[in-house]
Structure 1
Amino acid sequence: MKQVVEIIARCAEGTCVSRPFRVRADDGSLYWIKGMGTGWNRNELCYELLCAKLASEIGLPVAGFEVLDVPEVLLEFCAVPGIRDLSAGPAFGSRYVEHVSSLLPVEVSSVPQDLRWKILLFDWWVQNEDRTLGEKGGNVNLLWNPVDQQLTVIDHNNAFDSEFDEVAFFEHHVFREERSRIPASFLLEQKQRFANMAGRFGDLIKDFPDEWVEQDERPGDFIPETANAILNRFDKLLDVFGGQANEK
């Protein structure tokens, strides 16, 4: 496991709810990290890691990710405000991306259409309502590089939502307008991808940090069976999107 060697700053208050810390790891790269401590639940760290793996495997441009170790000694001598909200141990690290900003409403149409379809389907699959955007703003969790026209997908700590509201999802998702435009052939292709990934669930979580996961009758916030059941909802994809699709 790579180690954090420097804690640089914390995400500014008001910019995002979780307010991760920007750090440097021993590989020389910069990351935003979310770890154990006040404000983060262990299940949210597992959701971040699981969704990052799933998104990467199905071809979404997710930010590079690592599980990083935060040494106790680094916290003891850190003067970054709010550092007490971070505990020693494994943290989820999302690679820092340069020259990007949060996707704006006027930029939505610049995102390739098939990528819009993929993200909408993926968020529905993992029960992630946390990608909203309207004329008055929202919490889109997508980074956009206007020069390279590149999108980066981030933040899945609110996925696997037990109170997922499908109606609200289709009212507020940034790519909600794409629901009726997804071809049946594309839906079938994505359904098969989701099925393949759901079938690999055990392999995807086998390297999760012990500190995050419920196992051997030791309490934990992340219960694998619950997440696995949600991923198996791929069977409903055609029912939810199929009636809306246009064959091409």
Structure 2
Amino acid sequence: MKQVIEIIARCAEGTCVSRPFRVRADDGSLYWIKGMGTGWNRNELCYELLCAKLAAELELPVAGFDVLEVPEALLEFCAVPGIRDLSAGPAFGSLYVDDASSLLPVEVSSVPQELRWQILLFDWWVQNEDRTLGEKGGNVNLLWNPVGRALTIIDHNNAFDPEFNDVAFFEHHVFREKRSRIPAPFLLEQKQRFGNMAGHLDDLIKAFPDEWVEQDERPGDFAPETVRAILSRFDRLLDVFGGQA
């Protein structure tokens, strides 16, 4: 497992709810990390890792990711404000993306149409309402590089939301206007891919850190059976999206 060797800063207040830490790992790369400690439930770390794996298998442009070890000694002498919110142990690391910033409303139409379809379907499948954007802003969790015209998807700790609401999702998702415009052949292809991955959930989660999946009978516990039930939603894809022939 890669180790964190330097904790550089914390995400500024008001930029995102989870406020991850920017760090350097022993491979020389910069990451944003979320770990065990105040503000993060262990199940959210599992959701981050699982969604990153699912997105990568679907060939969505998810930021590079890894599980990084945060040494106790590094925390002991760290002067970064808020460091007490981070605990030693395994953390979810999302690779720092250069020359990219949060997608703006005026840039939405620059995202390739098929990619917009894919992200909308993916977020609905994993019950992720945390990809909102309107004229007054939102929490889009998409990074855009205007020069390279490259999109990167990030932040899935709020996926598998037990209070997920289809109506709210289709009112606020950044790509909501694509709901009834996705061709039926594309929906069928995605339904098959979702189904294949749902059937291999055990393989996807078997390497999760023990510290994240241990059962203490508290709200922060990761529940594979709940995730399995949510991923079975793939079977409703055509009914919900009503693709065009």
The TM-score bracket by the shorter chain reads over 0.9
TM-score calculated relative to the size of structure 1: 0.97
For the pair 1:246 / 2:239, whether they are aligned, the reply is no
- Mapped to 2, the partners of 1:214 and 1:78 lie a distance apart of 28
What is aligned with 1:38?
Answer: 38
1:191 equivalent in alignment to 2:191: yes
Distance 1:237 1:246 in 2: 13
User: What residue number does 2:232 align with?
Assistant: 232
What 5-or-longer segments of structure 1 have no aligned partner? none
Determine helix, strand or coil for the equivalent of 2:194.
Answer: helix
- Number of residue equivalences: 244
Three-state SS of the structure 2 residue aligned to 1:107 is helix
Corresponding residue of 1:223 = 223
Which secondary structure state, in structure 1, belongs to the residue aligned with residue 34 of structure 2? strand
Is contact 1:4–1:71 with CA below 8 Å preserved after alignment? yes
Q: Distance in 2 between matches of 1:126 and 1:99?
A: 28
Residue in structure 1 matched with residue 62 of structure 2 by the alignment? 62
Structure 2 match to 1:111: 111
- Distance in 2 separating the partners of 1:228 and 1:97: 31
The corresponding residue for 1:99 is 99
State the match for 2:166 in structure 1.
166
Using the TM superposition, give the Cα deviation of residue 218 of structure 1 relative to its aligned residue in structure 2, in angstroms: 7.3
Structure 1 residue matching 2:135: 3-state secondary structure: coil
1:35-89 deviation digits (Å, cap 9, x = unpaired) = 0000000000000000000000001000000000000000000000000000000
Residue identity matched to 1:32? W
Q: Supply the distance in 1 between the matched residues of 2:77 and 2:174 (Cα, whole angstroms).
A: 41
Spell out, residue by residue over 1:223-248, the C-alpha distance to the aligned partner (whole angstroms, 9 max, x if none).
Answer: 11111110111111111012xx221x
What SS is found at the alignment partner of 1:92? strand
Q: Does 1:207 align with 2:199?
A: no
Instruction: Please report the RMSD computed on the Cα atoms of aligned residues, expressed in angstroms.
Output: 1.0
Helix, strand or coil for the counterpart of 1:51?
A: helix
- In 2, Cα distance between equivalents of 1:196 and 1:62: 19
Match of 2:79 in 1: 79
Answer yes or no: is 1:148 the counterpart of 2:153.
Answer: no
Distance between the aligned counterparts of 2:202 and 2:148, measured in 1? 37
CA distance in 1, matches of 2:70, 2:194: 33
Q: 1:236 is paired with a residue of what secondary structure?
A: helix
TM-score (norm 2): 0.98
Residue 178 of structure 1 corresponds to 178
Query: Is the Cα contact below 8 Å between 1:214 and 1:223 reproduced in 2?
Result: no
Runs of 4+ in 1 over 2 A off after TM superposition: 217-220
Three-state SS of the structure 2 residue aligned to 1:33 is strand
* Aligned partner letter, 1:19: R
Tell me, in whole angstroms, the C-alpha distance in 2 between the residues paired with 1:127 and 1:229.
Answer: 11
Separation (CA, whole Å) in 2 of partners of 1:197 and 1:3? 29
Amino acid in structure 2 at the alignment position of 1:240: V
